[in-house]
Structure 1
Amino acid sequence: MILGMAAVTYVPRMIPLVAFESLKLPGFLERVLKNVPYAVLGALIFPGVFFIQSGMLYGLAGALIAFLFSYLGASVIIVVTGTILTLAGAGLLFSL
């Protein structure tokens, strides 16, 4: 069953790679397609900012902190860890 699931997952990803290997895309289309993962990630994360159980302001604060870390050039792991630690510290501070 595992081998079957692996084949079903691998084959649809391999076919376009092999079929379009020699295809040269225009520069504009290549630049657009390089940004698709970031756009999809943003579309997945952004609604979570407003529907966080702790409150929308908490979500907005987290998004703002993550944006600030990102703007300063921190790596993804630093952005995530820094945001979590900052919001955890703020939650502890304001609950006292």
Structure 2
Amino acid sequence: MNTTHLILVVVGMGIVTFLPRLFPVFILEKLSLPPLVERWLKSIPYAALGALIFPGILTIDPSNPWIGVTGGIVACVLALLRLPILAVIAGSILTAWLANAWF
């Protein structure tokens, strides 16, 4: 595969992933959606984030999943206390590190 072909593939992939994100902006801007649908659409980023993070929590150490679960629980508690995001991340990492030493 030569450089030109590789660049064309990367540009093509960029266009293919950009277009589905661009079209809803123009379509939804002109529509008036019911409040229930708007609330549902606003919750999708949180659901996607959970779907991305949860498998990582369970597979941080496949032989001992409690390490990731403990870090995840601490992260949830710190987030519920409305601590800054860096404190939540640092707390969960520290907890997972300590749990690794204990388990």
State the TM-score, normalizing by the size of structure 2: 0.72
Q: Would you say 1:75 and 2:89 are equivalent positions?
A: no
Structure 2 unmatched runs, 5+: 1-7
Query: Does the 8 A contact of 2:79 with 2:88 survive in 1?
Result: yes
**CA 1:21/1:51 → structure 2, altered by over 3 Å: closer, same or farther?**
same
Structure 1 unmatched runs, 5+: none
Q: Which runs of 4+ in 1 moved over 6 A?
A: none
**CA 1:46/1:5 → structure 2, altered by over 3 Å: closer, same or farther?**
closer
Percent identical: 40
* Partner-residue secondary structure (3-state), 1:20: helix
Q: What residue identity is the alignment partner of 1:70?
A: A
- More displaced 10-residue stretch of structure 1: 1-10 or 29-38: 1-10
State the TM-score, normalizing by the size of structure 1: 0.76
Aligned residues: 94
Q: Larger relative CO (CA 8 A, sep 6+): 1 or 2?
A: 2
